[in-house]
Structure 1
Amino acid sequence: MRILHVLDHGLPVQSGYTFRTRAILKAQIAAGHAVAGVTGPRYNAAVAGCETVDGIDFHRTAPARRGGVAGEVAAFARRIGAVADRFRPDVIHAHSPALDAVAAWWPARRRGAPLLYEIRAFWEDAAVGNGSAREGAARYKATRALENWAMARADALAVICDGLRGDLIARGVAPEKIMVSPNGVDLTLFGAPPPRDDALAAALGVQPGDDVVGFIGSFYDYEGLDDLIAAMPMLVAARPTARLLLVGGGPMAQALAAQAAASPVASRIHFVGRVAHHEVERYYGLVDVLAYPRKRMRLTDLVTPLKPLEAMAQGRLVAASDVGGHRELIRDGDTGTLFPADDPRGVAAALAGLLADRSGWPARRARARAFVAAERDWATNVHRYDAVYQRLTDGAYHHRSWPRIFFPARSSGTLPHR
């Protein structure tokens, strides 16, 4: 089958979005499908062209020169149409955000190709989570309306977790229109846990025998790292050898660094900053427990994150807040530890208890890795798409021909800004 993926951005950019994209496309190629991706104008390619990254063909869209968001959508739709004319996909598979599905809808319809729209998170809730929007405001409502418009016109929908599926059904979407394609990992990328790098540990002041709690990722407000820092004095009181290692960066980095500097246990909190992707494993090798203290909000209750799965695949212990997205991934006391969200005292108590008893760590690591292998490995999970693709291509939407049709030069209507 020939599948054209419509993407906001792609490799070589490194993000959770591109890691999931890479895993899907590589697994589909390995399964024998012909696959290509087309990235949007916000990827910031200088010109429209094609490049192959990690064995995947990505067709780039040049930045739109005018027209705001509506101009971007029109430019993206024309590029999707031009790529589709050459690639001739059986299915067009658009991924979040909603503007990608809006841009893909017109060329899909004009060329008779079915459209699958995959929702990884709701754009409006992601904006609230990163602090650029307020829930219930006019922009939030407009974005939600756009999301609903795109969902209504797609031939089928995919979501990454049960939380999102439940929300779509509550909005009135027919359950049979929705498939769940859960977050997963490419297990070929994760082998034995990396060995401890003694030189790196010494440079950071981490001593043998220290209890090291770590977070490696992006510093957004919804990640709850302020609660983790606030928990550190209580954790150190219970476990004097406890240290916190924070690797990454993002909008909250400056505020978090100031909070850590003012902490009575500031010397036990280490900010590393951003590190090159190939260096990340060195820091994983120093951490005893990966902590994910996400705050409770619509975004975190509905959406499952990728980082805990990657940690479990690598044989690391995980502890996380009990928001809905984490509860879909972690069985408390079995494959990981859950603690109360938005509660530094609860964070400290859970981590102290976990660090105090290491006897069950090897078995817990093994159970977590086994869960990922059985339920979240892309080598098997990617086949969930096949039945949906087949149903769509066997149905009324299957194309009969591929006329050379271009998207109109101008787009009617306006779209909300991100």
Structure 2
Amino acid sequence: MPHIDPAPRSHRSGQSRQRPRVALFSGNYNYVRDGANQALNRLVGYLERRGCSVMVYSPTSPTPAFAPEGTLVPVPSIRIPGREDYRLGLGLPRRIRAHLSAFAPDIIHVSAPDWTGTAAQSFARDAGIPVVSSLHTRFEKYAAFYGANLLRPAMERHLSRFYRRSNRILVPTPAIAAEFGEAGLGERTRIWGRGVDRSQFTPHARDMAWRRKLGIADGEVAILHFGRLVREKGLAEYVALCERLIREGLPIRPLVVGGGPERSWMEQKLPQARFAGHLMGPELGRAVAGADIFLNPSTTEAFGNVTLEAMASGVPTVCIDVPSGRNLLQGGSGILFPQGDMEAALRGLRELTRNARARAAMGGHARNASATYDWDGASYQVLECYMDVLGRSLEPWDGRGDAAIPFAA
């Protein structure tokens, strides 16, 4: 395995350009909306406001989910078998390499361990450009949801090589940083947190008329699934838990917000559910605030943007005990249950279903806790990492948002 110097020599000292030129590689920058590309688009917008030059390289689609922040350069890709809503980057053909060379980045940031991301790492190594990698999901856990458990060891080896080829590694939680530390990568690892728009996700967006129109009675407790309708988001566990509560006669109504390839399966398995579909903007905020409990059984979340958005909406969460949920649900903001312990999950759901005061108290704690998560503050962590690997420095973050942040060579 090649040794990676934590800071390539040509980039250790200050250069004439104080604001870095960043080439960002993504596996999905805007063709399907998810938590990863939400963070990446927020980052690019922030960097450009700070005066950085950014070029984004990613697979694209004729029907993108939203307009991208910054300049997006399409890279060759194919649909992923069995997950045809997502695409797999195929590397860096000569045309893209020429474009990248002409852009002359100071930093190459790779956010997906696909063929394009690994090719970008090789390009950077050959050119003496530092590589920053960011972790956005626990890909090694996907195999179990698609009948490919035998592939997990190979996936883990690939991910280990991918991150070891990076000069800096950005992870979303201290628990994941600790994992990299145990693997001997602690000196390279930095935290990149996340933020939430508390004006979009707010208890004030709750609309009882919207609930009634969707078919949720005033006396029913709406249990929310929020996010992409794909197997790795814990859909089977969500369905099983809701079915159990319904059989017990509890007045719950499953509320599903989001779209994806497993919707028809969910409609068949859980006919009592109300499906709001894929929503954005104020409509999404209204739907999340319209829930009474958020149930998150996903084991593949690296940070848990949806949990944070539910918290900001004042919705109490029942979440599987994984590092992402543990990092967010502190101080009475939610209930954690051990992985595989359905009875513990049911106890938490029953308690909140039967006790409106407990829901309100927990939702209030969650709303208050969400105030510590700021998108500009999170993006500043990335810029600080870039400047560190280039041997430059920034004045400390002062929480002023769009206020000017001086650069120092």
TM-score (norm 2): 0.77
Aligned partner of 1:382 in structure 2 is 379
Matched, 1:146 2:158: yes
Q: Given the alignment, which residue of 351, 356, 359 partners 1:358?
A: 356
Aligned partner of 2:58 in structure 1 is 39
Matched, 1:119 2:123: no
Cα deviation, 1:235-282, whole Å, max 9, x if unaligned, reads 347774322222334454444433335xxxxxxx21416334354344
Structure 2: distance between partners of 1:85 and 1:315: 48
Which runs of structure 2 are paired with 1:227-246 in the superposition (5 Å)? Answer: 227-232=237-242, 234-236=244-246, 240-246=250-256
Which runs of structure 2 are paired with 1:123-272 in the superposition (5 Å)? Answer: 123-126=139-142, 128-131=143-146, 133-134=148-149, 137=150, 139-171=151-183, 173-187=184-198, 189-191=200-202, 193-198=204-209, 200-232=210-242, 234-236=244-246, 240-261=250-271, 269-272=272-275
Distance 1:280 1:189, change over 3 A: closer
Residues paired across the two proteins, number: 362
C-alpha deviation, 1:208, in angstroms: 1.8
Distance 1:373 1:208, change over 3 A: same
Aligned partner of 2:400 in structure 1 is none
Three-state SS of the structure 2 residue aligned to 1:328 is helix
Three-state SS of the structure 2 residue aligned to 1:218 is coil
Q: Given the alignment, which residue of 365, 368, 377 partners 1:367?
A: 365
C-alpha deviation, 1:326, in angstroms: 1.3
AA aligned opposite 2:103 = F
Gaps in structure 1 of 5+ consecutive residues: 47-51, 262-268, 396-418
AA aligned opposite 1:114 = P
Matched, 1:339 2:354: no
Structure 2: distance between partners of 1:345 and 1:239: 16
AA aligned opposite 1:145 = R
Structure 2: distance between partners of 1:148 and 1:344: 32
Three-state SS of the structure 2 residue aligned to 1:315 is coil
Matched, 1:72 2:76: no
Distance 1:98 1:183, change over 3 A: farther
Q: Is the 8 A contact 1:210 1:243 kept in 2?
A: yes
Matched, 1:6 2:4: no
Three-state SS of the structure 2 residue aligned to 1:342 is coil
AA aligned opposite 1:216 = F
C-alpha deviation, 1:178, in angstroms: 0.9
Distance 1:79 1:93, change over 3 A: farther
AA aligned opposite 2:346 = A
Q: Is the 8 A contact 1:9 1:39 kept in 2?
A: yes
Matched, 1:16 2:35: yes
Structure 1: distance between partners of 2:36 and 2:230: 15
AA aligned opposite 1:147 = L
Which runs of structure 2 are paired with 1:379-418 in the superposition (5 Å)? Answer: 379-394=376-391
Three-state SS of the structure 2 residue aligned to 1:58 is strand
C-alpha deviation, 1:70, in angstroms: 11
Q: Given the alignment, which residue of 80, 92, 97 partners 2:113?
A: 97
Q: Is the 8 A contact 1:231 1:348 kept in 2?
A: yes
Matched, 1:324 2:335: no
Cα deviation, 1:309-331, whole Å, max 9, x if unaligned, reads 12112332222122333112112
Aligned partner of 1:283 in structure 2 is 287
Three-state SS of the structure 1 residue aligned to 2:390 is helix
Structure 1: distance between partners of 2:367 and 2:139: 31
Q: RMSD of aligned C-alpha atoms?
A: 3.2
Structure 2: distance between partners of 1:338 and 1:55: 35
Three-state SS of the structure 2 residue aligned to 1:209 is coil
Gaps in structure 2 of 5+ consecutive residues: 1-18, 79-86, 393-409
Matched, 1:27 2:46: yes
Structure 2: distance between partners of 1:391 and 1:81: 26
TM-score (norm 1): 0.75
Structure 1: distance between partners of 2:46 and 2:361: 29
Identity value in percent:
21
Moved more, 183-192 or 217-226: 183-192
Q: Is the 8 A contact 2:245 2:252 kept in 1?
A: yes
Distance 1:181 1:242, change over 3 A: same
Structure 1: distance between partners of 2:29 and 2:277: 20
C-alpha deviation, 1:132, in angstroms: 5.3
AA aligned opposite 1:380 = G
AA aligned opposite 1:174 = L
Q: Given the alignment, which residue of 75, 86, 92 partners 1:61?
A: 75
Structure 2: distance between partners of 1:355 and 1:8: 39
Distance 1:35 1:186, change over 3 A: farther
Structure 2: distance between partners of 1:188 and 1:35: 28
Structure 2: distance between partners of 1:108 and 1:212: 49
Cα deviation, 1:265-310, whole Å, max 9, x if unaligned, reads xxxx214163343543443243111111235xxx46xx33221012
Cα deviation, 1:48-78, whole Å, max 9, x if unaligned, reads xxxx9354211112448xxxx9992242xx4
Q: Is the 8 A contact 1:320 1:338 kept in 2?
A: yes
Structure 2: distance between partners of 1:106 and 1:142: 20
Q: Is the 8 A contact 1:197 1:285 kept in 2?
A: no
Q: Is the 8 A contact 1:5 1:37 kept in 2?
A: yes
